[in-house]
């Protein structure tokens, strides 16, 4: 994410809402659900930042679920987030089952502080929760001329081991962000599965079939009926490679932090009253420890342009860099507001009714 992005006061065109209006609504909802005002504001700001950069599946759309979990006691409204272990370049934070956004923001700030002093900071968290898209945190080090790396244990198990028929692994994301000079930063944010589970849900809602290669059923046969998703499993990228990636991320972001992995992972959508013990890990790496940041960022610009201008396959109009489309969305949405499709509006209105607060204007 562009670190200069600010949430502006503005009039949004029809079908769109200004970031400030959306932050205000989300913060009011969280206050009504029991969060202290400053925490509500922080989480709302991060959630709207997610929408600004186009993470439509990981931003404000999650508000109803978060509220449900807060009200069911599945998330602690007044957590005592504390540092359990603290070394010069490594720390473990216990999130006390608070909102993941609060826990991860604290962890990222600590990783950046450590990297300033020693060159590298790695902060793991336990007893955290779903924290929105990785991009929110992995891009925070960029403003400090640092590279960010992020690993997280997914909030559901949808992936079996390679050859297996039991989902013991999640769509555990990994993300890396690298700054450029004039070009948008490179932001890779990927799950080790061919399709994200959110995409499967979308296909089910729309009554569309899934392409072969997204999922298999319990016999290993292609599953294309999205409504039957519960009867099958996601497929990993690169066969056994995606399985290995998911497992490694579970170990680095989960087991290393005494967070839930494997059979300990609960379905956070279904078990709203239970703590997830979500594990995440964020790393900040100071560029200056290796090479002058200006020189590095110029190299990134050059590489980006070589790639963008390289020969394309027939029919391909443009070669994109990881994070470039999100960056373009961010520019557009900062200028013109955030689209609020009918289904999103309705779900936010329902939250307002439930919490007895004024709806989003």
Q: Are 115 and 126 in contact (CB under 8 A)?
A: no
Longest dimension (CA), the chain: 57
Q: Which is nearer to its own copies, 49 or 157 (CB)?
A: 157
Least distance CB 272 / its own copies (angstroms):
25
Task: Please report how the helices 37-52 and 100-118 are oriented relative to each other, as an axis angle in degrees rounded to 10.
Answer: 80
CB of 223 to its own copies, least distance (A): 13
195 in the Ramachandran plot: left (φ > 0), alpha (ψ -120 to 50) or beta? beta
Q: Which is nearer to its own copies, 74 or 185 (CB)?
A: 185
Q: Tokens for 117?
A: 């002093």
99 vs 138, beta carbon nearer its own copies: 138
Give the shortest CB-307-to-its own copies separation in angstroms: 5
Nearest-angstrom CA–CA distance, 51 and 61: 9
Nearer to its own copies, 310 or 361 (CB): 310
DSSP H or E run through 125: strand 120-128
Beta strand spans in 14-119 (E): 16-17, 82-86, 90-94
Both tokens of 101, joined, read 């956004």
CB of 276 to its own copies, least distance (A): 17
Q: Give CA–CA dist 84/333, Å, rounded.
A: 39
Facing residues of 146 across strands?
286
Q: How many residues does the chain have?
A: 361
Q: Which is nearer to its own copies, 23 or 261 (CB)?
A: 261
Residue nearer to its own copies on the CB measure, 31 or 168 = 168
Give me the least distance between CB of 131 and its own copies, in Å please.
Answer: 19
Give least dist CB 315 to its own copies, A.
8
| DSSP run (H or E) holding 30 | helix 19-32
Q: In the complex with its own copies, which residue's Cβ is closer, 44 or 200?
A: 200
Question: In which residue are the tokens 């891009």 written?
Answer: 139
Question: Are β-strands 90-94 and 120-128 bridged in parallel, bridged antiparallel, or unpaired?
Answer: parallel
Closest approach, Cβ 64 to its own copies, in A, equals 29
Tokens of 18: 């200004």
């Amino acid at each position: 994410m562009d670190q200069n992005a600010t949430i502006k006061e503005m009039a949004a065109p029809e079908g769109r809402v200004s970031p400030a209006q959306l932050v205000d609504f989300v913060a009011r909802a969280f206050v009504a659900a029991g969060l202290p005002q400053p925490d509500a504001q922080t989480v709302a700001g991060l959630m709207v930042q997610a929408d600004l950069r186009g993470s439509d599946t990981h931003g404000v759309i999650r508000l109803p679920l978060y509220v449900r979990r807060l009200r069911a006691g599945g998330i602690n409204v007044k957590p005592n987030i504390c540092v359990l272990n603290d070394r010069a370049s490594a720390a473990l934070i216990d999130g006390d089952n608070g909102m993941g956004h609060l826990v991860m923001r604290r962890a990222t700030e600590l990783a950046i502080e450590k990297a300033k002093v020693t060159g590298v900071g790695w902060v793991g968290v336990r007893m955290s929760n779903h924290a929105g898209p990785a991009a929110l945190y992995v891009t925070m080090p960029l403003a400090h001329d640092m590279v960010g790396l992020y690993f997280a244990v997914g909030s559901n198990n949808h992936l079996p081991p390679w050859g297996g028929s039991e989902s013991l692994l999640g769509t555990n994301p990994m993300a890396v962000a690298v700054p450029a000079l004039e070009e948008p930063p490179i932001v890779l944010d990927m799950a080790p599965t061919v399709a994200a589970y959110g995409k499967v849900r979308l296909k089910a809602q729309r009554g569309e079939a899934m392409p072969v290669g997204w999922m298999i059923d319990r016999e290993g046969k292609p599953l294309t009926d999205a409504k039957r998703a519960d009867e099958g499993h996601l497929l990993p990228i690169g066969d056994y490679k995606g399985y290995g990636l998911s497992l490694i991320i579970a170990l680095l972001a989960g087991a290393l932090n005494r967070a839930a992995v494997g059979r300990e992972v609960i379905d956070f959508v279904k078990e709203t009253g239970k703590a997830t013990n979500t594990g995440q890990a964020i790393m900040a790496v100071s560029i200056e420890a290796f090479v002058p940041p200006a020189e590095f960022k110029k190299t990134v610009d050059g590489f980006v342009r070589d790639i963008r201008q390289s020969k394309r396959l027939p029919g391909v109009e443009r070669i994109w860099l990881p994070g470039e489309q999100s960056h373009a969305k961010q520019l557009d949405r900062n200028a013109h507001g955030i689209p609020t499709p009918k289904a999103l509006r309705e779900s936010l209105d329902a939250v307002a009714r439930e919490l007895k607060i004024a709806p989003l204007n």
